[in-house]
Amino acid sequence: MVAAAVDGINQLAPEQGNLGKMAVIIQGTDGALISKPFWLAAPVVWATTIERFVNRDGNTGDKHYLKTALGVTGWLNHLDLTKDQPFPLSQQGPAMVFYVMENYSAGWPYVEEDKAMNKAALDKVNWCLNWIAEQQVKSAAERDWLPTKGWGMKFGGLPFHEYIFSNHLPVDGKLSSAADTEMRRLAAIVFAGKPEFTQLSAFMMMSYAERLNAGAMYRSSR
């Protein structure tokens, strides 16, 4: 289904300049259908690209997936995350930043090679990492999104992206250290009582996996 969606995007907007017209149809919390450019499309497209291009037959997959993914990244590079839009930052908080960053974490080796977009991509990555850092200096109780509720549970996945980019950016351990501190803070919450499997613990497992085996999340299991 996702691959079909990517094929559809290729047919409707095969060139990077047209990807601003890209639409993903989703159902809003009020039951209404939304059909307009949507930030969550980017990581969905990259997830398909990793599967169909990067991990197929020894990295010899269909290159149109890679072209589409880079085009979506070009669109996302210039999207103002703070503007009014479906599921805005003011509502989604860490959930929006987590999924926007997944676009860059999954595709960075290819995005970085694209000289036409890598500066804008790095600017967006740094914006997101700074947003994450601003949240992580606050205690859990001080945050606008509590890590134990709703969208705030995605805080468990933000260290994942910090670990990813600690291997891509010259930050001298700053990102991995911040991620370690956040994981200890969140672990104290998860293990304060009888541990339960929640979105928080699930996204923390993703972060732990990257911490223990860098890059494993985006490698083929085949």
Structure confidence at residue 25 (pLDDT): 42
Coil, helix or strand at residue 199: helix
Q: Which two tokens stand for residue 17?
A: 């300049």
Residue 162 pLDDT > 80, yes or no? yes
- The more confidently predicted of residues 129 and 22 is 129
- Give the pLDDT score at 133: 98
DSSP type of residue 33: E
Q: How far apart are CA 40 and CA 46, in angstroms?
A: 11
How confident is the model at residue 68, as a pLDDT? Answer: 78
> Which has more pLDDT, 10 or 100?
100
Total structural domains within the chain: 1
User: Could you tell me what percent of the chain has a pLDDT over 90?
Assistant: 53
pTM, rounded to two decimals: 0.81
198 pLDDT more than 70 = yes
pLDDT tops 70 at residue 6: no
Least confident of 8-12, 110-114, 134-138: 8-12
pLDDT recorded at residue 105: 92
Weakest-pLDDT range from 7-21, 32-46, 55-69, 126-140: 7-21
How many Cα neighbours within 13 Å face the side chain of 16? Answer: 14
According to the model, what pLDDT value does residue 171 have? 85
Over range 85-93, report the average pLDDT.
89
- pLDDT of 26 > 80? The answer is no
pLDDT at 191: 92
Do residues 104 and 169 lie in contact, with contact meaning Cβ atoms separated by under 8 Å? no
What is the arithmetic mean of pLDDT over 53-59?
Answer: 55
The answer on pLDDT for 167 being more than 80 is yes
Residue-range definition of the domain harbouring residue 156: 2-218
Average pLDDT score, the chain: 80
Angle between helices 94-111 and 63-77 (to 10 degrees): 130
